[in-house]
């Protein structure tokens, strides 16, 4: 288990996560405090990696939590976790980052590798400062990763104002729809490093076309499934784009990530900004398209699993979610009154009885965040 040890500010010796007392005096109480402490941002809690990261000169903040009865140490960044599994980046990964920087700089954009966001919540492989305040993050992912981790990193980047462009040369990863993967062919290192060598994006980029739903539209209306509605319906088609040109165009705001609903299915991909603007104008009266949520299977944690992993960040590390309202147990004083209810008074809910309505419904109910509600009044 690669992350057995962590280091805490104020302690000379490392803390052993495999021991109930962390291997120090008073460690049991200290462990409970670390598990329950959510008041400070992760960077200010003083807990850092004391394994591979420390040996290589990196100061990586960490947090600890329990998962299936085991204490797990979590990094903020996935590249910190990568140091525990094979020792860092491959030459191809480094070459793609160098090429992205070179392509951005040739287009007049400033680009830097391993740049953290202002809130230090995300660190991009390459952060490109484009026109009109565009922050484009280039993320090269050549090895398989957990889709939940990719999604968490992408969400954290959006919160920091960074729009990530995810590149991979794996067809298996490109089939996953967690993020719109920009797929390239698997090419040798020499071709990636060669200036001007053609490396097109084979997937992840599409053009949007609009068709008027009138008598010339083939078939019935895709929405009504009968007749013609007179509106505009989108269709998409794949479009290839060279690696260097796409980096420059995306930093210039000429390409955007878009979620488009075709018939009854939503897709996310990169598309020219002009296509996306036309699509938004044609569907201005419709609710925005939303990607369907993918259900991720949670695999049980086994003895051989590493304790060092990236934990998806919460919405805010400073705040805690409000506790749901749970009615108090019924007391002898809470006998139902036979007097009529006062107009405007809140309904009284009893455990196991529906409290909906001015006069409580009283039917058998289940507990919801809004209180005890029956099947007819449930949210």
Residue range 121-177, pLDDT digits in tens? 778 899 999 998 899 999 999 887 778 778 888 988 898 889 999 999 988 888 888
Helix axes 91-106, 243-251, angle to 10 degrees: 50
How many CB atoms are closer than 10 A to CB 228? 15
Tokens found for residue 47: 């807990």
Q: Give the whole-angstrom CA distance, residue 222 versus residue 226.
A: 8
Structure confidence at residue 311 (pLDDT): 57
> Sorting pLDDT into bands at 50, 70 and 90, what band is 203?
very high
* Dihedral over alpha carbons 41, 138, 80, 321 (to 10 degrees): 30
* pLDDT band at 202; cut points 50, 70, 90: very high
**In the prediction, which pLDDT does 353 show?**
80
Least reliable range by pLDDT among 133-147, 197-211, 351-365: 351-365
d(CA 290, CA 270): 15
Strand, helix or coil for residue 86: coil
Q: Which residues pair with 7 in a beta bridge?
A: 48
Q: For tokens 């959006």, name the residue.
A: 158
Reported as a pLDDT band with limits 50, 70 and 90, residue 108 is very high
Higher pLDDT, 303 or 35: 35
Strand partners, 308: 73
- Rounded to whole angstroms, how far apart are CA atoms 64 and 18? 12
Q: Specify which of 6-10, 307-311, 349-353 reaches the highest per-range mean pLDDT.
A: 6-10
Q: Percent of the chain at pLDDT above 90?
A: 27
Sequence-separated (6 or more) residues with CB below 8 Å from residue 15? 5, 6, 7, 8, 22, 23, 24, 27, 30, 50
pLDDT recorded at residue 327: 42
DSSP symbol at 302: -
Has residue 1 got a pLDDT over 70? no
Whether the predicted pLDDT of 293 surpasses 80: no
Q: What is the per-residue pLDDT for 67? A: 77
Bigger pLDDT: 358 vs 178: 178
Residue 101: name the closest of 85, 91, 90, 112 by CA: 112
pLDDT of residue 275 exceeding 60, the answer is yes
Distances (CA, A) of 112 to 97, 136, 140: 9, 11, 14
Contact between residue 126 and residue 111 where contact means Cβ atoms under 8 Å apart? yes
State the average pLDDT for the chain. 78
CA Rg value for the chain: 27
CA angle 14, 15, 17 (to 5 degrees): 140
Band the pLDDT of 96: cuts 50, 70, 90: very high
**Tokens standing for 185?**
């062919």
Mean pLDDT for 6-11 is 85
Residue 364 DSSP code: B
223 vs 99, residue with greater confidence: 99
Whole-model pTM over 0.85:
no
What pLDDT shows up at residue 340? Answer: 43
Helical H runs in the chain? Answer: 27-36, 52-55, 78-82, 91-106, 147-159, 171-174, 189-193, 243-251, 273-282
What local confidence, expressed as pLDDT, does residue 286 receive? 77
């Amino acid at each position: 288990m690669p992350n057995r040890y962590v280091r805490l500010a104020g302690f000379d010796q490392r803390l052993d996560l495999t021991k109930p007392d962390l291997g120090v005096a008073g460690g049991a109480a200290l462990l409970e405090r670390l598990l329950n402490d959510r008041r400070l941002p992760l960077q200010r809690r003083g807990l850092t990696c004391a394994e591979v990261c420390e040996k290589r000169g990196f100061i990586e903040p960490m947090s600890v939590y329990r998962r299936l009865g085991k204490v797990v140490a979590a990094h903020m960044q996935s590249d910190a976790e990568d140091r525990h599994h094979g020792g860092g980046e491959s030459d191809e990964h480094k070459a793609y980052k160098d090429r992205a920087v070179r392509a951005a700089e040739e287009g007049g954009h400033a680009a830097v590798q391993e740049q953290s966001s202002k809130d230090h919540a995300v660190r991009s492989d390459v952060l490109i400062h484009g026109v009109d305040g565009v922050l484009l993050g280039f993320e090269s992912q050549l090895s398989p990763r957990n889709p939940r981790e990719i999604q968490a990193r992408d969400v954290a980047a959006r919160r920091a104002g960074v729009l990530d462009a995810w590149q991979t040369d794996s067809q298996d990863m490109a089939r996953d729809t967690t993020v719109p993967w920009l797929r390239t062919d698997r090419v040798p290192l020499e071709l990636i490093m060669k200036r001007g060598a053609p490396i097109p994006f084979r997937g992840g980029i599409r053009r949007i076309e609009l068709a008027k739903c009138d008598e010339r539209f083939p078939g019935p209306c895709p929405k009504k499934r009968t007749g013609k509605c007179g509106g505009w319906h989108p269709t998409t088609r794949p479009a290839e784009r060279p690696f260097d040109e796409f980096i420059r165009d995306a930093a210039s705001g000429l390409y955007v990530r878009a979620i488009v609903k075709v018939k009854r299915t939503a897709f996310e991909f990169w598309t020219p900004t002009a296509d996306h603007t036309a699509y938004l104008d044609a569907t201005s009266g419709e609710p925005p398209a939303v990607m369907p949520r993918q259900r991720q299977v949670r695999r049980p944690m086994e003895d051989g699993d590493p304790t060092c992993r990236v934990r998806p960040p919460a919405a805010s590390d400073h705040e805690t979610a409000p506790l749901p309202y749970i009615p108090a147990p019924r007391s002898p004083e809470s006998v139902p009154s036979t007097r009529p209810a006062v107009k405007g008074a809140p309904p009284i809910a009893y455990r196991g009885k529906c409290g909906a309505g001015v006069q409580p419904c009283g039917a058998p109910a289940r507990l919801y965040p809004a209180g005890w509600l029956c099947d007819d009044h449930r949210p």
